[in-house]
Structure 1
Amino acid sequence: MNRKNTGIQMTGKALLFINGVPPKILPEVEDYSLIACSDGAFHYLKEKKFPLSKLDFISGDFDSHAGNDEGVYQEKFIYTPDQDKTDFEKSLEIIKNRGFTEVHVYGASGGEMDHFLGNLTVAFKFKNLLRITFYDEFATYFFSPNQLVLNDVQHRTISLYPFPETKSVTTTGLNWSLNNENLNLTTRIGTRNFAKESQVTIEFEEGDLIIFLSHQPSE
């Protein structure tokens, strides 16, 4: 996956777990310079035998966590009680303030769908500050830069989702191509397309666009 014109300079990758459906397969921690979780996600990381000593911080209002029963991990708790922000948003603020610009997020989808939509909205707020990529059991998804190249994606499902509007979208390599066309949340979206070629390019002039890329080829 190559990106262009994001306006963001990378300083290392951060890994963040939040309190949605737990990932079935945990990522390799060696790939990240910072590892964090929300207080709710701390529960499933314990259950999955995640190496908790690798965590740099655990953030939240601790409404789903006793906050005093973890002994050696207490020094990693960052109490963030602001009820006007979600635990996800508060964790992103800490990551940004520590100088990171790229974040991989697990546990953002599934369960109560208002949480999932809220997580997308939080990511939208940070899209010019952090390069956020979500991972779940089915797909990878992210806000796209104006020019995007996806490699080695033949036969995989690719959905283009305007948020809420994307103007002058042009694609190559998709089964149903777009040629300088507009997408809008209330009139036309671009979900459930798939790559007919190994390389797919997506360009647009204005607006915001979420790309959903399936992990497995479509049947």
Structure 2
Amino acid sequence: MKVNLLCGNRNLPEGLLKTETDAHWIGVDRGALLLIEAGIIPRFAVGDFDSITSEEKAFVEKRIDINPFNSEKNDTDLALGIDQAVTNGYKEICVYGATGGRLDHFMGALQILEKPEYTEQNIVIKLIDVNNEIQFLKTGSYTIQKNDNYRYISFIPVTYPTVISLNNFKYNLEKEQLKLGSTLTISNELNQTEGDVNITEGNVLMVRSKD
């Protein structure tokens, strides 16, 4: 089961809230207000709601139940939203509006992708914006479909050692050991409708991008 999380309105893919009207949505903080204003009623909303006014918060509360948290808490609003999505049984979570702002929050979002509690359950979490799609891949085999919206594909090692093989890519690899800090696997491309990724050791962040 798939759900979209909206955190804000930065760097959203063009027409997102018009093309995804039938999807399941979760509003994270200001994202709940943006969804309702777009005519989308989220399944639920979470956060401390410190990014909206009291009038805007009342507007949201008239339409859905919200789950407010104190602003002095141990997790970010995004972390709380993803945790509740997993608790509600969602296995694929697409996060929008989480890039283009504070770098500390963005780095925290990347850490959530690698959270063992989620990777062990094979929860797929993607950070998506107008130019990029970021996903964590653990040891295993994957078939990657070509997507003209995100032409370039990079694999960034987050553990050492990481050993990766790529087939049907512009630059194929066979059991290549990647060191932390390596840029060998930056800006690759698929040359077929799908490609094979085999990670025999380690973990990577897969970043799909366009110029």
Cα displacement (A) at 1:198 = 2.5
Question: Scaled by the length of structure 2, what TM-score is found?
Answer: 0.82
Cα displacement (A) at 1:188 = 4.6
- 1:61 is aligned to 2:44: no
- 1:108 is aligned to 2:103: no
Cα displacement (A) at 1:70 = 4.3
Structure 2 CA distance, aligned partners of 1:111 and 1:203? 33
SS at match of 2:101: coil
Change beyond 3 A, Cα 1:153–1:68: closer
SS at match of 2:110: helix
Aligned 1:93-172 pairs, distance under 5 A: 93-125=83-115, 126-129=118-121, 130-145=123-138, 146-153=140-147, 156-165=151-160, 167-172=162-167
Cα displacement (A) at 1:35 = 1.3
Among 39, 42, 48, the residue aligned to 1:51 = 39
Among 76, 81, 86, the residue aligned to 2:65 = 76
Change beyond 3 A, Cα 1:58–1:22: farther
Report which stretch shifted further, 21-30 or 56-65: 21-30
Change beyond 3 A, Cα 1:103–1:67: farther
Structure 2 CA distance, aligned partners of 1:157 and 1:170? 17
The answer to whether the 8 A contact 2:11-2:130 is kept is no
1:35-82 per-position Cα deviation (integer Å, ceiling 9, x unaligned): 111113235446xx4114x21212111222235544463142111236
Structure 1 CA distance, aligned partners of 2:119 and 2:7? 18
- 1:207 is aligned to 2:199: no
Report which stretch shifted further, 104-113 or 181-190: 181-190
The answer to whether the 8 A contact 1:59-1:80 is kept is yes
Change beyond 3 A, Cα 1:100–1:140: same
Structure 2 CA distance, aligned partners of 1:69 and 1:111? 21
Cα displacement (A) at 1:104 = 1.3
Question: Scaled by the length of structure 1, what TM-score is found?
Answer: 0.79
Runs ≥4 in structure 1, deviation > 6 angstroms? none
What code does the residue aligned with 1:109 have?
A: T
Structure 1 CA distance, aligned partners of 2:196 and 2:4? 27
Aligned residue in 1 for 2:2: 13
Change beyond 3 A, Cα 1:150–1:139: same
- Gaps of at least 5 residues in structure 1 are 1-11
Identity across matched positions, percent: 22
